[in-house]
Chain A
Amino acid sequence: MIRLEHVSKTYPASARPALDDVTVDIEKGEFVFLVGSSGSGKSTFLRLLLKEETPTAGSVHVAGKDLARLSHWKVPALRRSIGCVFQDFRLLPNKNVFQNVAFALEVIGKPHHQISKVVPEVLDLVGLEGKSQRMPDELSGGEQQRVAVARAFVNRPMILIADEPTGNLDPSTSVGIMKLLDRINRTGTTVVMATHDAAIVDSMRRRVVELSMGKVVRDQTRGVYGYGA
């Protein structure tokens, strides 16, 4: 589903590569934690999958496509097959919950009747039934992140990318979000999640890829956050 081969990425303005000869293979339906200290290259890794950045060397394959060969105008189609969740939720403050989720479908040209059918379904799935008319500032952080997950998942992407989705949440709220991501993963969606949250990684016991200074220093099938733990 996702394959990086000898991928290096050096940003124009910096001397040190953000990613250095990274080779990782992720199967369909896997749940992968990306861990590592700040600046180790986790977000860069995820941005490469979306073709928001292009690698300096090496190749990236997503869903069978070589991203280097993917023409400019096919990038939107790639992104439709990948859902994204971020630490800062990225909701539109002037739209309510329903509209925020519907927005993701409107802008890819989905018809109205389909939107009004699938949005309530996905809001139920993420546990926001009855809150569809709330504005984002009337929701708790955890609820806002659920809206973001709903928006990422409403188009039923093959891959879900999460960059520190629990970074702004307290531990118990984080557990709720993780249960949600786990549920989504069980529908067959491949999940790649960058995180600093040791407790979550340790409790989930899923595959862990650790980056350090842009290099893969560990790739464990049922890993924990740190070596010692």
Chain B
Amino acid sequence: MRASFVLSEIGIGLRRNLTMTIAGVVTVAISLAIFGAGLLAQRQVSAMKDFWYDKVEVSMYLCGDGSKGANCNGSAVTDEQRSQLLQEVSANPLVAKVYYESQQQAFENFKKQFKGSPDLVQNVTPDALPESLRVKLKDPTKYEDLASAFRDSPGVEEIQDQKALLDPFFRVLRRLQLVAWVVAAIQILAAVLLIGNTIRVAAFSRRRETGIMRLVGASNLYIQLPFLLEGVLVGIVGAAFAAAGLAALKAVLVDRLLKPMLKFTAFVGWRDVIAIVPWLFIVGVALTGISSFFTLRRHLRV
């Protein structure tokens, strides 16, 4: 195979149908950028999950005076029950860490949390806040297992999972992500069809050359390779633009706009962007390669 021949053929082909080539590059770039944004969103979600799940705890509120819980019998938790619970919880294999928060500590935390609203703080006394065991799970999704193990233990009034507060938020994110996938899939389909058409037009406009090539016994590979590479080149250039777009998205939308605004959460880093870029190229090359291959099989028979 003579590389110079193949390269000059590709050059001729791309120039001859420049508008189609540009259209192809643009569609591929857009579809891959959306695809990449979907991947980035996925990483954003997992970055947030890591960040938040690391902080969420299960609160095991213990009975106080006059508690109405079924395990309380109307009286506060006894010292015996408390130490028994503490022992059992820390021995549980699901649990990574557990600590005890007294009413006084709960009050301190409450004051810290609501220092913006002194009215509220003034109306609360340590007695009004329940003492609790704060449990950090090894796997934050295993809340239900822990809750069912201790729900009926004496001295436990209520078990609460902070993660449950985050779940609706993540559900929304998952839905957005799904939308991104669907849009990306439609875009990719459009890109595949457009590339197919570009290659078909290219093959048609060079039917004289390919006719002669067939006649003098050029192999299928030799005849089809320039077209195939043409398609793949469009895929590579499109992927490069998509990668640039994704980097811009990260630099402008995430770093400049969102990060200063939303200080309470983690964001995707450059490492996430870099991890996605190879996938853009892989998908770009695969989809243009496959679409060119099948177009050529249909329209450039020996």
Contact = CB atoms under 8 A, between A and B. Distances in A.
Nearest to A102: B5
22 contacts: A50-B215, A73-B219, A76-B217, A76-B218, A78-B217, A79-B215, A80-B216, A80-B217, A82-B217, A84-B215, A90-B208, A92-B208, A92-B212, A103-B212, A104-B212, A106-B2, A107-B213, A107-B218, A107-B223, A111-B2, A155-B216, A155-B217
Contacts of A50: 215
Interface of A: 50, 72-73, 75-82, 84, 90, 92, 103-104, 106-109, 111-112, 151, 155
B5 A106 contact: yes
B263 to A, nearest CB: 63
Contacts of A75: 302
B220 to A, nearest CB: 7
A76 B2 contact: no
Given A107-B216, A108-B216, A109-B222, 6 more contacts: A75-B302, A84-B216, A90-B208, A92-B208, A103-B216, A109-B2
B126 interface: no
B127 interface: no
Interface string B188-231: 00000000000000000000110111111111101100000000
For the residues of A in contact with B, the DSSP-based class is helix
Interface in B267-287: none
Contact of A73 (B209, B216, B220, B222): B220
Contacts of B219: 73, 76, 108
A79 B216 contact: yes
Contacts of B302: 72, 75-76
B135 to A, nearest CB: 68
Nearest to A94: B12
Nearest to A104: B216
Contacts of B172: none
A151 B217 contact: no
Contacts of A78: 217
B149 interface: no
A90 B302 CA distance: 18
Contact of B220 (A76, A82, A84, A103): A76
B1 interface: yes
Given A75-B302, A90-B208, A108 B218 contact: yes
Interface string B1-20: 11001000000000000000
B106 to A, nearest CB: 79
Nearest to A103: B212
Nearest to A75: B302
A190 B209 CA distance: 26
Contacts of A84: 215-216
Contacts of B217: 76-82, 108, 155
A6 B136 CA distance: 87
Nearest to B1: A109
A137 to B, nearest CB: 14
Nearest to B213: A107
Contacts of B211: 90
Contact of B214 (A77, A79, A81): A79
